[in-house]
Structure 1
Amino acid sequence: MKRFALLTGSLVMLAALMAVLAGCNDNKPAQPAAPAAKTGAKPPAAKAPAPAAPAEAPAEVKFVYQVEGRRDPFLPLLAMKGKTGGIEFENPLEAYDLVQYQLKGVIIGFGEPKAMVVAPDGKSYILKKGVRIGKSNGVVREISRERILVEERYQDLSGMTHTNIQEIKVPKREGV
């Protein structure tokens, strides 16, 4: 039984090897014969001449680019407006984006509410209502026990001014 299986397997492998080797032939296939020319066929008749073009050709339309009301296509979409040269800030709180600040604590009850935030560079700052914070010209509008509300004004590509209210929350206490 083993001998029969071995013999059958050998024959199958030999047949597969022969099929592969037959496909590796270096001879190029024969080119099909060119179609035989028809005998007794008449050459195609010459076409009738095209009708003459109209005497009046339409005047060439010249394109003129209208600049009024369009932005300059060679200026960047988000062009920086304002100060030129190095970036100068009114206070160091305007050096980072609003989401990079961490609210560490809020003091309420002794006059005006105040909050302490930590910048990404590790420095602490005390905030009160009306202080500018963030790169997007944010202004602190409200300080409560659990959050600070910051109002940011920005212009979109069409030039319209939008207002966005962001909040910085006090992180939840750990281990208590």
Structure 2
Amino acid sequence: MMRLLTLVLAFALAFSLTGCGDEKTTQKVKKVTPKIAAKKNKAKDEKKPQEKKNVKIYKYNAKGRRDPFASLLKIREPLNDDAEPETPLQRFGLKELQLIAIVLGRNEPRAMVVAPDKKAYTLVAGVKVGRNRGHVVEITENEVVVEERYRDFSGTLRTELKEITLPQREGE
């Protein structure tokens, strides 16, 4: 069995080395163009200067249009009210706030969130929250609904409802 394997490998090695040689087999290829093709090329060259006279020049007028290279996902301008001072909760994004408790009772519902600065804040309906100047619309038993208003890439006023939910407890 070993002899057969050795014989096959020796044959394969000998066969693969037969293609190796020092002779140069490159040949120069001479490009021949027929006379008819040469006449057509000359005719095309003569027509080119005439075609350049009829070329229309287009210009892009950017006045009143948005930048076509700006990302549509990143363009969000919050509605700024310079008259109102910024609350501590408006320094953080909604995803940075962690909802830890909701209290529903006889009075209006309240929620407690922990901000990244490790301070706890109480939320009631109407409190300004988030970087986009959102405000709390509703507090349910599992989440706090915040309404954010902003201008999108086209300048249209958009309203978006976002939720801050209670984390699921273990075993649920």
Larger RCO (alpha carbons 8 Å, 6+ apart): 2
2:112 to 95, 109, 116: 116
CA distance in 2, matches of 1:44, 1:169: 81
**One-letter code of the match for 2:20?**
C
Backbone CA RMSD of aligned residues: 4.1
The residue that corresponds to 1:150 in the other structure is: 146
1:70 to 43, 65, 72: 65
TM-score scaled to structure 2, two decimals? 0.66
2:94 to 88, 94, 98: 98
CA distance in 2, matches of 1:120, 1:157: 30
Distance 1:18 1:129, change over 3 A: same
Say how many residue pairs are matched: 156
Unmatched runs of 5 consecutive residues or more in structure 2: none
Structure showing the higher helix proportion among its residues: 2
Q: Please identify the structure whose Cα radius of gyration is greater.
A: 1
TM-score scaled to structure 1, two decimals? 0.65
Distance 1:163 1:18, change over 3 A: same
